[in-house]
Amino acid sequence: MLSQKAKYGLRAALMLAERFEAAVPIAVSEIAERERIPQKFLEAILVVLRDKGILDSRRGRHGGYTLQRPPDAISFGEIIRAIDGPLALIPCASRTQFKACEDCADVAGCRIRWAMVNARDATAASLDGCSLADALAGG
């Protein structure tokens, strides 16, 4: 399930994508007010997205956040992974953070893993194929 934190991250990134061409940083307070996100919670989310190379920040009176890359180069999948971690439903289905399940006797022969890998692949294809620009264009 998508966390509230990831939903807020997507909403903030979409607002920044709308104003990408202006190349003017947007204050956290403005994003929080427009998107109805608690400001302290939003600040923590934006720091994560900045640290993952999705956003740039500028300090000071005219500071705020901008996208680090164009909206067509940032996918929903990238943002969700940055905030929530792997898209896989179980750890042994993750491509980036594989870990055998504690109760699994045979990862290679696990029939549950097979289904979860298929689900992860379909989810990743969909979310990685949807950029911020796609969402702004209406999908």
Residues 81-122 pLDDT 10s = 999 999 988 888 888 888 888 887 877 878 888 899 999 999
Strands (E), the chain: 55-58, 64-67
Within 10 angstroms of residue 2's Cβ, the number of other Cβ atoms is 13
User: What is the pLDDT, as a whole number, of residue 72?
Assistant: 97
3-state secondary structure at position 75: strand
Percentage above 70 pLDDT, the chain: 99
Mean pLDDT for the stretch of residues 123-137: 97
pTM: 0.89
User: What is the pLDDT, as a whole number, of residue 139?
Assistant: 62
Residue 25 CA, chain-centre distance (Å), reads 20
Q: Residue 107's closest CA among 90, 124, 85?
A: 90
Q: Where are the domains of the chain?
A: 4-67, 87-136
Class of domain 4-67 as given by CATH: mainly alpha
